Structure 1
Amino acid sequence: MKTKTMITTALLTAGLGIGAISPPTDAASWHKGTPSALRGAYQYKKYSQAQGFGDIVRIYSTKIEINQSNNPLWKITNVHYKRVGRYYHVIGYRHHLGFIRAGKDNLMMYRKGHYFKYADYNYFINHGFKGIHAGKKVSHPHY
């Protein structure tokens, strides 16, 4: 009787020990919204005399707006992100406004101090942020 109790206790203890082991968590999991480190308004310098103002990127907690002179506003909602090293991989749904087509947007974003860069994911994979201008964080962008 005593050996049966010891065997049963050992099996139960082993079973509880196996159940207590948790699988490793995925550090690069997708998060809803935008990263708080990127939120704010960023304005780029004009790169052409034909531009009325430099590009403006506004990042809110649940959406991203990209306003380029002479182009309609890009409005990206249903945003999700994951951190990849020092960069942020951001995906979302781009709304149809003017001649901007609706669809999925796939971007890489980066911020260092007051400077911010973003690029299309496919461009980033092939070239990184090489040749991409940086926008500066501003409290009130000038249109």
Structure 2
Amino acid sequence: MRKSILVSLALTASLFAGVGVTSTTANAAGWHKGMPKALQGTWKTKYSKAFGTSFKLKIGKNYAHAQGLDPDYLNNTHYRYLGSHKYKVTGYEPIYSKKTQTHYYKWISKHHIVVSGTGYYR
């Protein structure tokens, strides 16, 4: 009887020792479908005297369309958060290349973002 109690205590102790070693990791830096909520909306650049216009960028739930001298469309988007308010966005470009393209967005404030070095404002 005493031996069976000791064996069961040893097995129980080994089970609890194994529980502390096991760890789970979250995939928080994975790819997400669509566009980040913070970037969605209509954005525009400051007026450019050289081009005689300001460029517009419309970001929806699953697309990013830039309008200006040369249109730049990105459909069926997926994004990854890179940290420090930076996002890597990939999507299908249906006009010229008809391939997947990658754009980088940086959220500065609710009224200012930077896309590939160009500042856009609300």
TM range (shorter): 0.7 to 0.9
**CA distance in structure 2 between the aligned counterparts of 1:87 and 1:17, rounded to whole angstroms:** 41
Please, which runs of 5 or more residues in structure 1 have no aligned partner?
A: 120-131, 138-143
**CA distance in structure 2 between the aligned counterparts of 1:76 and 1:48, rounded to whole angstroms:** 30
User: Retained in 1: the 8 A contact 2:72–2:93?
Assistant: no
| Correspondence for 1:101 among 73, 83, 97 | 97
Taking only aligned residues, the RMSD between alpha carbons, in angstroms, comes to 2.6
**CA distance in structure 2 between the aligned counterparts of 1:13 and 1:59, rounded to whole angstroms:** 56
Q: TM-score, normalised by structure 1?
A: 0.66
Residues 18/62 of structure 1: CA separation in 2 closer, same or farther (3 Å cut): farther
* 2:119 paired with 1:134: yes
Residues 91/75 of structure 1: CA separation in 2 closer, same or farther (3 Å cut): closer
Please, which runs of 5 or more residues in structure 2 have no aligned partner?
A: none
Counterpart for residue 29 of structure 2: 28
The aligned runs of 1:7-86 (5 Å cut-off) are 7-12=7-12, 14-15=14-15, 18-19=18-19, 21-47=22-48, 49-50=50-51, 53-69=53-69, 71-86=70-85
Q: How many residues align?
A: 120
Deviation at 1:13, TM superposition (A): 5.0
Report Cα offsets for 1:32-71 as digits up to 9, x if no partner: 22111111110113435445x42211111222222222x2
Q: Is the radius of gyration larger for structure 1 or structure 2? A: 2
Counterpart for residue 113 of structure 2: 116
What amino acid does structure 2 have at the position aligned with 1:35? Answer: P
Residues 54/23 of structure 1: CA separation in 2 closer, same or farther (3 Å cut): same
**CA distance in structure 1 between the aligned counterparts of 2:18 and 2:107, rounded to whole angstroms:** 43
Report Cα offsets for 1:59-110 as digits up to 9, x if no partner: 11222222222x2441322323223222112222222x2xx21111112101
The percentage of aligned residue pairs carrying the same residue is 18
User: Retained in 1: the 8 A contact 2:63–2:77?
Assistant: yes
Q: TM-score, normalised by structure 2?
A: 0.75
Which stretch shifts more, 53-62 or 11-20?
Answer: 11-20
